[in-house]
Amino acid sequence: MKVARPVLRGDSAPRGQGPTRHTYTRGVMELTGWREALDAAAALLARARSAGATVIHVINDGGPGTPYDVRAEIGQIHPDVAPVEGERVVVKQAPDAFVGTDLGALVDVAGHQDVVIAGFMTHMCVAFTTAGAFLRGNRPTVVADACATRPLRSGATELTAAQIHRGALATVGDLYGVVAESAADLG
């Protein structure tokens, strides 16, 4: 990993006391493989910190009373990937974290075009933020095992989380960026 490459941690599993308090760990929004992805994201984050990379966390605020309420425990960043002193947190309200936020300015201040992206959900915020990074001139890399998503229906077809995850990563890899299977593939 290049020392100054910004790492964007997006929409990580909200803070809680276990599966009963997380937006992405229970109910209709539960992500397949969320624990493994969170562990991979924590390892990626540790690696970025030890390399001296700029780390920018991104969290979605859906407003009071929603599963993305950043004022409530359910909407906070999971302690496994929580910011440490000096790391910025960007609060967004759109799937593309560059829309309506200062993320672009923060990435520019870091001084590099390369960004590493990981987080939840692969098919939504990860894919749209990656596209946003590309469209503004950055060179994004998504770390696949540090992302997760959930099964979805498309018309009459049930799609597995693996199909959704791989489809989103294929879209990223087709135009918007590089897909690394794990942090080990970053070099």
Distance, in Å, from the CA atom of 41 to the CA atom of 145, rounded to the nearest integer, reads 8
> Exactly one of 37, 43, 56, 125 is catalytic; which is it?
125
Provide the 10 A C-beta neighbour count for residue 32.
15
Q: Is 65 helix (H, G, I), strand (E, B) or coil?
A: coil
Distance, in Å, from the CA atom of 30 to the CA atom of 25, rounded to the nearest integer, reads 4
Distance, in Å, from the CA atom of 158 to the CA atom of 160, rounded to the nearest integer, reads 7
Side-chain-side CA neighbours of residue 24 (13 Å): 28
Provide the 10 A C-beta neighbour count for residue 185.
13
Report the alpha-carbon angle 175-46-34, nearest 5: 65
Provide the 10 A C-beta neighbour count for residue 62.
13
Residue 125 designated active-site = yes
For 11, left (φ over 0), alpha (ψ -120 to 50), or beta? left
Catalytic residues: 125
